[in-house]
Structure formats: structure tokens, C-alpha cells
Structure 1
Amino acid sequence: MAGHLDLLVGVVLLASPGFGISSCSLDARVALYRFRNLTQIPQVLNTTERLLLSFNYIRTVTTTSFPFLEQLQLLELGTQFTPLTIDREAFRNLPNLRILDLGQSQVSFLHPDAFQGLPHLLELRLFACGLSDAVLRDGYFRNLNSLSRLDLSFNKIHSLSLHPSFEELSSLKSIDFSFNQARAVCESELRPLQGKQFSFFGLADNNLYSRVAVDWEACGNPFRNMVLETLDVSGNGWNVDITGNFSRAIGGSQTTSLILTHHVMGSGFGFSNLRDPTQDTFAGLARSSVLHLDLSHGFIFSLNRRLFETLKALKFLNLAHNKINKIVDQAFYGLDKLQILNMSHNLLGELYNSDFYGLPELTYVDLQKNHIGIIQAQTFRSLEKLNMLDLRDNALKTISAIPSIPTILLGNNKLVSLPNIRLTAKFIQLSENRLEHLDDLYFLLRVPQLQILILSQNRLSSCQQSHTPSENLSLEQLFLEGNMLQLAWEFGLCWDVFRGLSRLQILYLNSNYLNFLPPGVFSDLTALRILNLNSNRLTALAPGSFPASLEILDVSKNQLLSPDPHLFASLSVLDITHNKFICVCELNMFISWLNQTNVTIFGSPEDLYCMYPDSFFGVSLYSVSMEGCDEEEMLKSLRFSLFVVWTVALTLFLVATLGVTQFRGLCFLCYQAAQRLVFGDHPQGTEPDTYKYDAYLCFSSKDFEWVQSALLRHLDRQYSDQNRFNLCFEERDFVPGENHIANIQAAVWSSRKIVCVVSRHFLRDGWCLEAFSHAQSRCFSDISSALIMVVVGSLTQYQLMKHQCLRGFVQKQQYLKWPEDLQDVGWFLSKLSQHIVKKEKEKKKDENIVMQTLATIS
């Protein structure tokens, strides 16, 4: 109720900036006056049910402050910016008030009869009001027969001596004395509460019993004849002795939940000035039927023998955030009914077979955020009813035995492999480990009844053998993000990893370096609804890549150029933001679909933008115009006239074209033979000039064998006397020991032409790219076309333009491409020779200047 009310208040405040409206009401039932600089109670409608007056300057509340508001149930007067005076029967005109909130208002005067006339009050909030012992001692709460919850925390109460009128508060269920200054509380002080049952009794952070000497025999049991569902005595600075004395003092009082957090029990790590709790520490609680014991946030180092032996009924034990490093044999002896054990955030390094003996009903063990590096094989064997084991954030490199339980959490360890054992888990979490082999994935996919498998942030990348498909009919969610599946799939291995997962609904494959999807990899996922492929390197998606059941697809942060919109027809939600779209005519169909589709496109329009060409860089796809891209419209005006020309041309040249295409190698040999008959049988040499070499052949060292067989053996004089060129290349002509850049510069400036053999290896070789840049620099300097680029392999223009040093050349200059057909090689070599011997009409610099430049660089 309070949360919804605060939300409503926020909406109203936002709707009236500056708080210029003097009042606010909704259906005449809520009156909101927060932050209005009020100095007195405003007049409100008699139908008001909630009156909110916090954050004002109201100084006094008297009987006449309120009109008769019979329907008012909530009054909020807390957090006044001035001291507050509350007079006698101040709230008498509010007979049906249920909640009165005065919290965080400094009450300078509170009349003993201030709360008289409130027979239906259920909750009284007096926290942080600066109240003293008098509020308990002088009967301020008389006649509040309906009062259920009393909050007196954060005050200045030194003694808990209660007025006899507390005995009349038959409905009181919750009372909070936390964050006061009560040094001790004894049986005589709380006698008026005897016979009552409390859902909550708060005594936290009072320095209770820790700053004064206590005669425990004389003090007695402060909770005698009371039933407490939750008793909070945390933050009082209790050591082992105080805890033991308190346990004996309250022995026999029924306490369901005992909260003892932020204590100082235990020696801690590396200290021995304080003792760890022993068998006697909690012995006094034997007859208190404690079900929940919270000992978190302390300094316990060792769990001693039979520490909790007397707590026969205990079901939940919280030991988190201590310094536990040692579990003595039989430490948990006697906890025959314990179901939940929390030992997270401790200093455990090893787990032994005997650590959890004596816990036959244990269902959940939380051991996360320790330093566990090794676990003996039988450690969990005695826990026959264990359902959930949490070992996240430890240091496990291997685990010899994983119990067959429904839920196993092993994330953020150092596991490199999994034991080949029988598992029956429904939920397995193994994220942030070091698993590399997909053998472990295939093994886990065969776990019967497995429903959720999390293997995020591992290193899955190796697939060395074939596997039988899993045929898992129960798996519904599979998380594989943050792995390296591309390294396995690019070799054609493990493409069947999802075979047989017919009930899988959610699959995460983001951040796996994927640059393609294996054909049919999702074909068996007939129930798949959500697929995440973001943050990969996908450039294209083949038709039929996704199952028809897919509803939500995330392919954001990839490198998709021109996606086919038919792939997304069955989707309800698509995230395709932050891709590298090439805004040319091929993208026209996708842009048209984008503006018409009923599929929900995730992200803002600015997140869908062009990367190429430069004129459209950063422009939203929703703003790109594809006019002029319709081929039918472009050809309509020319169709008739071109029909006749095309028919004639096709008839005349069809036979010739097919003949030349099929026998072009033979035709070129005939052409060369005729040329030799006319010009003679000797190869035409190059004209002498000022250059040392005819050409500098620049290529990656990884391509040497291919370059040698394809080019050098047919062009270089030292390979054959029939060849005509004196070529320069690194493996033979670079000066050993010389600076590599100097060698490159010397080769570039002493050669008539520079031939760069651009392959995939060339684009990854920094020295090759450096040589290309120097060659371009010479072209600019000489105003010549000395640079010849030969592209080898299946490199697209887009791949070439990704490199800054090649982009300008590709855009402005022609380049040669190595032929795919062997019969074209002869023609290509002839063409390349012509380019080498071709004399450019250029303005050359003086040779002396060039030589001086080379000397300076060297």
C-alpha cells in the first residue's frame, strides 16, 4: 500500500512543478500537501481517507487542528522541518484513524494524553522522534486497544521499563526498539508484555548487555511467558560469553527466528583475541524451538564440534559473511531437521567427506564466494535430500563428483573439464569457467530431464571428434553466449550440436565470433521462440536459416550488409540495430520492408544507420531514399529501342563470343605466334633507364611459393634466360641486417614499377601495407602511375576498402585481378608485362634529388 502511495505521490508532484497548487485530491479521498511550506493543518474535505503532510513547517497539533474527519485512515505528519508540539487529544477528531506516522519529526513536546481518542489505531510510527524513556514509563499508549504495530526505533530511550498500561494492549504484535540506547533489558521491565505473542520484537543496535555488567540471575528472562516469531538482537556487539548468557537467560521462551547478525563472535582470520562459539554457546536455546538462526556478518573462524547440537528443531542456519575456514568433525551434529544452510562469503578452501555429516534433511547448501579449490568425492554423498548446491565464485579446477540433484550452480570457477558421470539435474549453471571442448557440451545435453543449461562466458571452441546427437526432449533454455563456437564451426565440425533439441525455446549464441551460420544448424529446433545472435560477425543470413517457430530474434551488433527481409516474416520482435549496412540499391527491398512491416523493431531509428558509401555514413535507414533503384523504371524508356539492337547483337556475336570464351587460351597462343612471326623470335627487352630494377614485387612471405611458381618463373631473368625483367623482391634482394623500412624505401625508389600482390595474407601483413603506402607516396611525388596492384583470391572491393591505405587507390585507380581460369594465365602475364614496360608521360624528378632523398632516409 505504501509503495503504491509513494508512486502516486511522485506522479502528482511531477504533474505540478513548482508545487504551485495549494492542494491535491484524487476522488476526494487523498489529500497531498508534501513540500508546501505549511505551518498549520490545512482544511480538507470530510471524505478524505489519506492526508499526507510530511516535509512542511507545522509546529503545533492540537484538538482544533483537524476538522471532524470520520473517514480518515492514514495521517502522515513525519519529517517536519521544525520541532513539533503535540497537545492533549490532538487527534480526537480522527476517530477511525488506522495509521499515524510521526516518524523523523523532532517532537519537542508530547502530551501523555496525545493519543487518546484513537480506538481503532493499528500502527503508530514514532521512529527518530527524539523520544526519551518517558514515552514508555508514563503511559502514553493507554487505551490503544487496537494497536498492532509500534515503531520506536532511532530514539533516545535508555530504559525499557514499561508502564502497566502495556498489559492492556492485547492486539500488539510488533514492537521495535532498535537503534536506541538501552544498555540492558530484564524481566521486570517487560513484565507488562507477558502472555503476548509477537511477530517481531526488535532490540538491534542498542549495545545491549555489552557496555554494562549484568547480574544474569537477578535480571531473569525478559521474554518470560512470551511467544516471539522473530527476535532481532543483532548489532549489539555480542561476544561468545554474552551470547551464551543471553541464550541461557531466555531459555524456554518460544522464539521461532533469532537474528544475531553483525556480532563479534570468533577469532577471525589471523587473530586469537576472541573465541569462536562452542557447544555451550547456544545450549540455552534447547527449549526455545528456534527454527531460524542468523549468525551472519561476524568473525567465526572455526565451526567447533557439536556447535548446534541443542537446536534440534532448527531448519534454517545462516553463517554467511563470517571468516569460516575450518569445519570440525561433527560440527553439524544434532541438526536433524536442518533444511537450508548458508555458508557463503567465507574462507573455506577445501571440503572434506565428513564436513556435512549429520544433516539428513538438508535440501539447499549455499557455498558461493568462498575459496574452495578441491572437494573430496564423498562430500555430498550423505545429503540424501539435497536439491540445490551453490558453488559459484570459488576456485574449482576440477570436481571429482557432482551430486545427482535438480539444481547445480558452478559458475565463475576454473573448471577445464567435467567428469563423465551420471547426472539428473534440471538446472545446471556453469558460466564463467574455462571449458574448451564441445565434448562437455554434448555430455551435458545428454543429461536426462535437463531443462536449463547455462554455459556462458566459457571457451568452447574445440571439436575433435564426431558425436551422436543428444536427442534431449526436455531442454528448454540453452545459454552459450561469450564462447568461441566459430573456431569449431569454421572447420565444418560440430554442426549437429543442436540436433534433437526439439523442445528448446530459448537459445543464446551472442558474442561467439560467428561469421556464418552452418547450413541447417537450427533445423531441429522446431519449438525455438527466442534466438540471440548479437555481437557476432555475421555478414549475411542464408534463406531458411531460422525455424518457423521463431518469434524474437536479436542480430544486433553484427556486420549484416543487405539482409533479406523474408527471413524475418514470422517474427514478432526483431533487433537488427548497429549493423554495417551498405546503402546501395541491393538494400532497397529491406528498407521498403522496414517502413511497412508489422514486426516490432527494437531500438530507435538512429540505431539503424548506413556505413557505406561515405555520403550516407551515419544516416538512418528510415531517412535513406532509394529512388532510381527500380530497374524496371530505369529501363522502361529504353526497352523498345534496345530490343532490336540487342537481338541483332546477340545473333551476330553469340557464336564468336562462345568460341573465344571457350578457347581463349588457344586464341592467345595463336596471337603470340603471329606476333613472333612479324616481330621476330626474340623477346623485346626493356629500355635502359635510370632504375636499378624493372619492378619491385611486393607480396606476403606466406605467399612466396605461389608467387614463385605463378610469377617469378615466368618474368624474372634469374629464373630463366627467356624472361625479360630484372625483378626485386624481399627474400632475395633486401640487404640483410638493414632497417626493414629502409629496404622497402630503397626498393620502391630504385624500381621503375612496384607490383603489389594483394592477398588475404597481404592484408594482414603490416610490412606489406607499409610498402603499399610508400609506393603511393612515390606516385604522388613523381606524379606517375608506378604502382600496379594485383588482387589474388576471392577478395571483394568492400574488403579492400576496409584498409585505409588501399581505399584511395581502389576508388580512383584500376587494378589487375588474377584469373580464376588457368587458360587466362598467359594473357594475364602478358598484360602485366605491358604494364611494367609502359612508359608514363610523367614529370620525373631529377635523379640526383632522388638519390639524395634515399641517402637521407637510409
Structure 2
Amino acid sequence: MRIAMGHLLAFLLGLVFEATSVFGIPSCSADGQIALYHSCNLTQVPQVPNTTINLLLSFNHIRVVNATSFPLLEKLRLLELGTQYTPLIIEREAFRNLPNLTVLDIGYSHIQFLHTDAFQGLPNLIELRLFYCGFSDSILKDGYFRNLSSLAILDLSKNHIQSLHLHPSFGDLESLESIDLSRNEISLVCERDLEPLQGKRFSMFNLASNSLYRSISVNWEKCMNPFKSMFLEILDVSDNGWTVDIIRDFGHAINGTKISSLLLDRHIMGAGFGFHNIKEPDQGTFAALGMSSVINMDISHGYIFSLNFHLFETLKELKVLDISHNKVNKIAKEAFYGLDSLQALNLSYNLLGELYESDFYGLRKVAYIDLQKNHIGVIQEKTFKHLKNLKTLDLRDNAIKTVNFLPNLNTSFLSGNKLVSFQNVQIIAEFLDLAQNRLENLNDLYTLLQTPGLKFLILNQNRFSFCHQQYSPLKNHTLEQLYLSENMLQLVWQAGSCWDVFKRLSHLKALFLNNNYLDFLPPGVFSDLTALQILSLDGNRLTSLSPGVLPENLRVLLLSHNHLLSPDPTIFASLSHLGITHNKYICECETRNFILWLNQTNVTMFGSPEDVYCTYPDSFSGVSLYSISTEGCDEEEALKLINFSLFLFFTTTLTLFLTAVVMFTKFRGHCFFLWHKMVLRLVFKDHPQGVEEDQHKYDAYLCFSNKDFGWVQNALLTHLDSRYNSENRFNLCFEERDFLPGEDHISNIQDAIWSSRKTICIVTRHFLKDGWCIEAFNFAQSRYFSDLKDVLIMVVAGSLSQYQLMKYPPIRVFVQRQPYLRWPEDLQDVGWFLNKLSQCILTKKEEKKKSNNIPLQTVATIS
């Protein structure tokens, strides 16, 4: 089944390589040094020049390779014969005519027959690739690799090897330093199996993914140390399903064999989250490995939930420890005790929620701690501050809200957290990554720029949208790169705020402002960036750039995906690289200089010329600017001048007219005030203010809900009632001041209505819910029917619709009979409204006149 799947994959790969070229050489050809014959339907080795160095024969149908298959190729170094679509037979001394071959690749081929002397005559062979060939144990025990004195790398992965009974000839392979036996079916390796390899030094010994020691019961006293007398730079026994017991027993069995890097990842140690049926590693699990002088240990991708007391205490020489991709939620006190030499600790992709001051006790030399992709939200203040050698702390993608725990570091990764402010925070760092947080106030940037020694600051994907500047820009002598991509600086700058945010950054070399919705650049915003060499403004909404806006020393400018229409080419004169694809170019004569510059400049352009295209006029839409001709533009200049003069005249006239209209609309309140004041002086200069005396005690009774008193007082009484201000003309009556205490409330309402010339009902949501107000409205309407005079004035305030008013019968009768007033939405219309209300109070009508509702909307919501 594996072989069948392997040939299916080989077939698919062949389709990819078919009719392609490598190193510029067409497939199925040779150039003297490289012979490329991928997917050429070959059934035998082709004739190639004797100068060939690399011969590539994969994805063919070659069936047999024997001593005569290859001509004498003394310069050949690499032979790829793998991934044949038919079973491959390799006969005796099949490669003897390739005496200087150093790399032989037969991988991913189904080897039907392999002669035991197939590899004889290859004294210089260094690397032999035999992966996924269907080999059994015989490939190791039958002496296939005799006399390969230079062989250093042997790849036998993905085969069907079940046991390691090595042929004695393995002892003669003096150069052998790497064996890959991963993804086989090896269940047991004992001392006698690897006896020919004793005394050798290996850079890599790979036994991963074999179910090693897992499915059988091992008698370690009989099996003994499989790596006796060896030195292993890397021993990979990962993905074998090892438990706590297997690792403990294995550590004791190897009895101090020197191993620099031990890979135990993809284990099944630990209970995981919520389970208790699998052991957690304890103080004895790794105890025996201390004798092996392990420097790098990988126990990632497992189920460890708790790092227990003194878990690693014997690993005195360990420098790198990887515990990532487990389920670690708890770190016991002194869990890392004994790791006196540890320099790098990886705890990423776990389930840590809080960190305490005791968690990292004992890590005296640790320089790098990786805690990204946990759920950390709370960190005690002194958790890291006792780690004097800590240089880099990675806390990306957690839930941190404050950074009071942060020690003085070279590098801090804090992106993907929940930080909202950096006010009142003092830190020291060279590299600070704060991307994907929740910073909104650009004032935080002023604070961060004061960080001593800061060279790299990353603030991408925050929420910068406003600025309440508290500090003046300080001179920063260290910052070299600043990343502010994917924020909302447009909202900050269009409010006129923080235009000096880049002032005094004299050493800044790279600035990234892409995707900030910018449609303009503040004047002089880059004027202090004298060292700036790279500026990214990609993905904004800029339509043009003003001359002088770019720093003189700028060399790389990225302006793609903006709205540039007709750029001035002189702006780009000092650049060496420019990106201006996907803009909104206008392909008319006004863009002639830019089009000519594009075709003549030495500036290196990013992107394809087809991506610098016209969007207007429609007849040129999508056409590359590089293919546009500028002939005929000179004749149009004179006509354009005449057209421009006429356009200027009519535009000026229209602008003056529209300005007058806009000024009146914008300041109509002031205009009404001046007009009203003038009329009062001209018309009433010989007449005293006030109202004619008659039989009524009050000019008007003001009826409103008690809950609206504060608003009514500020909006109406202070501007109309003479007892609030002697300059007001009306004597008004309202409940809080003029109703007799102790008197029946209905009697008070009736007296107020009949003693006043007019009744003004201030209808709000509270008014409609007040029974006394509705009753007063009924009495006022009754007086109308009695006297046949227009004595009732209704003022609607707040967001009340016509439908809501019509639900109340007395109000519905009034609305159907005559118009009402609405409190204005725009503050400058309040004066006009009060004047209109004053006229209504003064006007005497014997009969109704039809009129429309006053189309003024509310300016304040009454709550």
C-alpha cells in the first residue's frame, strides 16, 4: 500500500516537473554540465556528454540499471535516479562508470531487485538516499554498503525495516556520521544491534516515528545500552509514543552516553487538561539523562499539564529546553531548579494563565524565554526582574493588559495582547513589538519614543485614531525603524493633532505608514527625518504628493495601492527604488511629464509595468502607462489655456455666489440677530418695550412637565420672562412660581389659563405621560371653543414623531385644526424660534388660518 501511494505521489510530482526547466536548461536536454531528463518517458539511461556534473533522471520509466547503463562519466557528482514509475532493478556494480559520484538519489522508487554489490566501485560517494524504496531488514544485514569508505550520510527513512542487525561492514564506514531510520517499523534496538557502530561520532542518528520500545516489554538488563561508546550530536527518538516510564528507563539504559541534542517531542507524557490516567513527568523522569551531558532537549508536542518540583534538577549542562505545544497550566515552585546553564526556554503554545515570582526560580543564565500563544493575563511584578541575564522575552498572543512586570531587556515581543496605554510606564529596550494591541491615543507613541536605547518599534495593527498631546517631541538618537502600519492616522491628522509626531527622529532609517487611510500628509511631517531611507505609504488614499514633502536622503518609496492621479516626477528624482503600482492614473496630456519620466528613469520599479495603468479616460482604462504615447499634447496646450481662463472666470463667479449662500446658511443665526436688532431700533425706538395692558394678568401661561423644568428654564424663561431678566418683555405664569400653595390643582390650572392671554404647552415625552399636563391642554382648548380665539400655542420638543402626537385625542384635534411649533435642532436657529414664539404670544387672531408645520427639528433631546 505504501509503495502504491508513493508511486501516486511520484506521478503527481512528475506532472509538475514535466516540460519545465532547471537552471535555465530545457527539460530532456543537456548543456555539457547539467543533464535534465525529468519526465521524459525514458526507459533507459540516455547518452550524455562526459563533462556532465549533474544528471537528473527522476520521473521516468527506467527499469534496469547495470554496469553498462552509464558511459564513463568521471566528472559526475550528482545522480538523481529516484521516483521511477516502474519497478527498478539495480544490478551488480551498476554505477562503476561513475567513480567520482558524491550524491546518489534513488529515493521514492520501488526497488524490485538490488544486488548486494550494486554500490561497489563508488569510493567517493558521500550521500546515499534510499528513502521510501520498500527495503526490509536485509538492506542492513546483507552488506550492501561495503567499501563505501567516504559514505557520510545514509537515508533509509520510510522503509519497512523492523530490526537493526547491522552487517559487520558498518564498522569499516569511517566517514559515516548521519543515519536516518525514521518512519520504519523498528520496535526494539539493543546493544548488540548497533555493535558495529560503537566508537563512532554521529551528527544525526534518527529513529523517529518507529513505535520504538512502545509495543513490547523491554528487558533492559538484557538489552543494555544501544548507543554504547557512541557520541551523538543529535539523537531523534521523537514521535515514538514514549511515556514517563519509557523515558525514565531509556535514560538509565544509555548509561551516560554523550548526547548533545535529545529530541523527545510528540510524546504522550502528561495527563493533559482534565485527565488523570497518564503520568506527569516527575523528579525521576529525566534524572539519568544528566549523565549524558544533554545540551538541548525537546519535549514539545505532548500533554504535560504540570511542571513538577525539581523536574530537571540533574540537567546541569542543559542550555536549550523546548516544552512548547503541551498543556502546561501549572509551574510548581522550583520546577526549573538545577538548570544552572539554561539559556533558552520555550513554553509557547501552552495553557498558562498567570505567572508568579517563583515560576522561573533557578534560571540564572537564561537569556531567552518564549511564552507566546498562552492565555497569560496576570503577571506578578517581579516575575522576570530577578533574571539578570534575560535579554529576550516573547509574550505574543496572550491577554496582557499592563506591562509593569517588564524588566530592562534588549528585545520584548508583546504583540497580540490587550494593552490600551503606555502612560506612566518606564522601560528600557532595543526592540519592542507592540503590534495588534488596543492602543488608541497617539500620545503613547510620544511616551515610547522616550525609551532609552530603543532602535526598533513595531506598532502595526493598533487603533491609533486620536491624540491628546501632553509632551513635546524629544530628540531620539537611537530609533532606526518605526512600524505604524494598519492604524488610523488619518483621523488624528485631519483633526489637526500631532503633526510633529516624527520631529527630532534624526536617526530613523525606515518608516512604515501603509494602510492608515491617509488622504494627505501634514506639511513638514517628515522634515526632521534626515536619515530616512525607506518610507512605505502603500495602501492609503493619497492623490498627490507636494514638492519637498519627502526627505532628501530617501532612497526607497512605496506608494502602491493609493489614488495617485498625475504625480510630479521631480518628487521621485532622488530615489533608487519606487513602488507605484495600482493607482488611479489619469492618462491625459497633463500626465505627459510623468509618462515620459517613467520610460526614461533609472529608478528601479517594484512590480510589473502592467500594474501601472490608466483608470481615466475610459478609452485608456487598464492600459499600461509605459505604452502610452504623448504625441499631440503640445497642440492642446493653447486650447487648454483658453479653456482654463473661461473656467477660471465662471468658477470665480460661481464660487462667490456659493460662498454667499453658504455664509448665510452657516451664520443665519447671526444674520437674524443683526436684522432683529436693527428692526427694533428703527421700529420701536420711540416706543417702550412691553405689551399693551389689558384685562389679563399674564401674557402667557407656560405649561410643562415638572421633569422638564431645568431645560424650560434655560431655553425659554431666561429669554422671555421679565422676572428672570428685566430686558425680557413678557410676564409669564408657570406652576413652580405662580400657583397658590394649598389651592386645588385644577383650580390653579383654570385660573392660570383664564388669567393669561395665551397658553403655551411644551410637549415632550414627559408631558405626554403627565396627566395634569394633558388636563391643562384640554382646558386651554376648551377656552378656544369658548372665546373662538387662537389662545393655545403648542411647542414640540424632543424626538417626537407625528404618529406619537396623534395617539392623544386632544393633541390630535389641535394638530388637525392648526399648526404647531418645533424646537429647532440647530442652535443658531434658536433666536429665530424665540422671535416666532414672541409673535405668536402677541398676535391676536379671531379665527384660524391654514399654515404648514414649521420645519425645524429638535436641537436637544429632553430626557
Output the TM-score relative to the length of structure 1.
Answer: 0.71
Counterparts of 1:572 and 1:14 in 2: how far apart (Å)? 29
After TM superposition, list the pairs within 5 Å mapping 1:651-670 onto structure 2. Answer: none
Deviations 1:124-168 (A, max 9, x none): 221111111112222222222222121111111111011222222
The alignment status of 1:737 with 2:802, answered yes or no, reads: yes
Distance across 2 between alignment mates of 1:65 and 1:617: 60
Q: Structure 1 stretch 362-371 or stretch 561-570: which is displaced more?
A: 561-570
Structure 2 match to 1:469: 473
1:703: how far off?
A: 10
1:256 to 260, 263, 268: 260
- Following the alignment from structure 1 to structure 2, what is the Cα–Cα distance between the partners of residues 316 and 530? 37
One-letter amino acid matched to 2:59: F
| Cα pair 1:588 1:626 within 8 Å, conserved | no
Residue identity in the other structure for 1:396: I
Q: What are the ranges of 5 or more consecutive residues in structure 2 without an aligned counterpart?
A: 1-15, 646-652, 684-794, 805-824, 827-863
Going from structure 1 to structure 2, the CA distance change for 1:47 and 1:312 (only over 3 Å counts) comes to same
| 1:11 equivalenced with 2:15 (yes/no) | no
Conservation of the 8 A alpha-carbon contact between 2:533 and 2:553: yes
Q: Is the 8 A contact 1:399 1:419 kept in 2?
A: no
Paired position in structure 2 for 1:47: 51
Kindly report which structure 2 residues correspond to 1:477-496, keeping only aligned pairs within 5 A, or say none.
477-496=481-500
Mapped partners of 1:44, 1:598: distance in 2 = 44
Q: Secondary structure at the match of 2:362?
A: coil
**Alignment partner, residue 816 of structure 2:** none
Give the letter aligned to residue 391 of structure 1: L
What is residue 220 of structure 1 aligned with on the other side? 224
**Structure 1 counterpart of 2:502:** 498
SS at match of 1:63: coil
Matching residue of 1:325: 329
Following TM superposition, by how much is the alpha carbon of 1:286 offset from its aligned partner in structure 2, in angstroms? 1.6
Partner of 2:343: 339
1:519 matches 2:523: yes
Deviation, structure 1 residue 536: 2.6
**In the aligned structure 1, how far is the partner of 2:642 from the partner of 2:163?**
102
Structure 2 equivalent of residue 803 of structure 1: none
Does the CA contact (< 8 Å) of 1:356 and 1:382 recur in 2?
no
Provide the residue aligned with 2:463 in structure 1.
459
Aligned pair in 2 of structure 1 residues 609, 140: CA closer, same or farther (>3 Å)?
closer
| Partner Cα separation in structure 1 for residue 73 and residue 188 of structure 2 | 42
What is the aligned counterpart of 1:295 among 281, 292, 299? 299
SS of the residue corresponding to residue 512 of structure 1 reads coil
Distance change (3 Å), C-alpha of 1:107 and 1:613: closer
- Flag the 1:703–1:242 CA change in 2: closer, same or farther, 3 A: farther
Match of residue 30, structure 2, among 22, 25, 28: 25
TM-score norm. by structure 2 comes to 0.71
- Structure-1 residue corresponding to 2:538: 534
Distance 2:18 2:621 in 1: 45
Give 1:88-99 correspondences, 5 Å limit: 88-99=92-103
Amino acid at match of 1:471: K
Which segment drifts farther, 219-228 or 495-504?
495-504
Change in CA separation of 1:41 and 1:580 when aligned onto 2, cut-off 3 Å: closer
Q: Map residues 675-686 of structure 1 onto 2, 5 A cutoff.
A: none
Contact 2:90 2:114 in 1 (8 A): yes
Amino acid at match of 2:176: L
Counterpart position of 1:176: 180
Q: Deviations over 1:480-519 (max 9, x none)?
A: 1112223332333222211111111111122223232222
Which residue does 1:649 correspond to in 2? none
- Describe how 1:832-847 pairs up with structure 2 within 5 A: none
Q: Compared with structure 1, are the counterparts of its residues 471 and 157 closer, same or farther at alpha carbon in structure 2 (3 Å cutoff)?
A: same
Provide closer, same or farther for how the CA distance between residues 624 and 558 of structure 1 changes in structure 2, counting only shifts above 3 A.
farther
Corresponding residue pairs, total = 662
Q: CA deviation at 1:275?
A: 1.3
Cα deviation 1:316-349 (Å, max 9, x = unaligned): 1111111111111111110000011111111111
The offset of 1:624, in angstroms, is 7.3
Residue identity in the other structure for 1:25: A
Q: What's 1:423 paired with? A: 427
Question: What letter matches 1:229 in structure 2?
Answer: E
Cα RMSD after superposing both structures:
3.7
Match of 2:122 among 92, 114, 118: 118
3-state SS of paired residue (2:511): strand
Report SS of the residue matched to 1:243: helix
Contact 1:353 1:376 survives alignment (8 Å): yes
> 1:397 aligned to 2:407?
no
Give the 3-state SS of the residue equivalent to 1:548 in structure 2: coil
Cα 1:379–1:710 change in 2 (3 A) is same
Give the letter for the 1:509 counterpart: L
* Residue correspondence of structure 1 range 270-419 to structure 2 within 5 A: 270-418=274-422
> Which letter does structure 2 place at the counterpart of 1:443?
T
Partners of 2:35 and 2:563 lie apart in 1 by 56
SS at structure 2 position matched to 1:65: coil
SS at match of 2:570: helix
Tell me the secondary structure at the aligned position of residue 324 of structure 1.
coil
Q: Is the 8 A contact 1:400 1:419 kept in 2?
A: no
CA deviation after TM superposition for structure 1 residue 283, in Å: 0.9
**SS in structure 2 at match of 1:389:** strand
Distance 1:251 1:35, change over 3 A: same
Retained in 1: the 8 A contact 2:18–2:39?
Answer: no
CA deviation map 1:375-411 (0-9, x unaligned): 1101101211111111111111222221111111101
1:66 aligns with 2:73: no
**Aligned residue for 1:57?**
61
One-letter identity of the residue aligned with 1:203:
L
Question: How much does 1:448 deviate?
Answer: 2.0
What amino acid maps onto 1:144 in structure 2? L
Distance in 2, Cα, partners of 1:121 & 1:537:
61
Higher mean alpha-carbon deviation, 597-606 vs 81-90, is at 597-606
Q: Which amino acid aligns with 1:34?
A: H
Conservation of the 8 A alpha-carbon contact between 1:588 and 1:629: no
Q: Cα offset for 1:179?
A: 0.9
Deviations 1:801-853 (A, max 9, x none): xxxxxxxxxxxxxxxxxxxxxxxxxxxxxxxxxxxxxxxxxxxxxxxxxxxxx
Partners in 1 of 2:374 and 2:620 — Cα distance? 54
Q: For 1:84-127, what per-residue CA distance to the aligned partner results, in whole angstroms no more than 9, with x for missing partners?
A: 22223333333333222221221222222222233332222211
- Sort the Cα spacing of 1:543 and 1:147 in 2 relative to 1 into closer, same or farther, 3 A: closer
Q: Which residue of 2 aligns with 1:265?
A: 269
Alignment check: 8 A CA contact 1:336 1:358 kept: yes
Q: Residue in 2 aligned with 1:149?
A: 153
Aligned to 1:507: 511
Aligned residue identity for 2:153:
R
Give 1:538 deviation, angstroms: 3.1
The SS at the match of 2:369 is strand
| Structure 1 unaligned spans of 5+ | 1-5, 643-659, 669-696, 723-729, 740-760, 763-858
Q: 1:209 to 1:552 in 2, by over 3 A?
A: same
Cα contact 1:453–1:477 (8 A) shared by 2: yes
Structure 1 partner of 2:207: 203
Cα distance, 1:35 vs structure 2:
2.1
Partners of 2:636 and 2:98 in 1: how far apart? Answer: 82
Contact 1:251 1:286 in 2 (8 A): no
Q: Percent identity?
A: 57
Q: Distance in 2 between matches of 1:439 and 1:31?
A: 63
Deviations 1:70-89 (A, max 9, x none): 33333322222222222233
Q: Contact 2:207–2:237 at 8 Å: present in 1 too?
A: yes
Equivalents in 2 of 1:277, 1:571: separation in Å? 60
Q: Is the 8 A contact 1:60 1:85 kept in 2?
A: yes
The reply to whether residue 100 of structure 1 matches residue 104 of structure 2 is yes
Q: Which moved more, 1:50-59 or 1:577-586?
A: 577-586
Q: What is the SS of the residue equivalent to 2:149?
A: coil
Aligned position for 2:446: 442
Please identify, of 184-193 and 609-618, the stretch whose mean Cα deviation from structure 2 is larger.
609-618
Contact 2:248/2:285 (<8 A) preserved: yes
Answer yes or no: is 1:231 the counterpart of 2:235.
yes
Secondary structure of residue in 1 paired with 2:492: helix
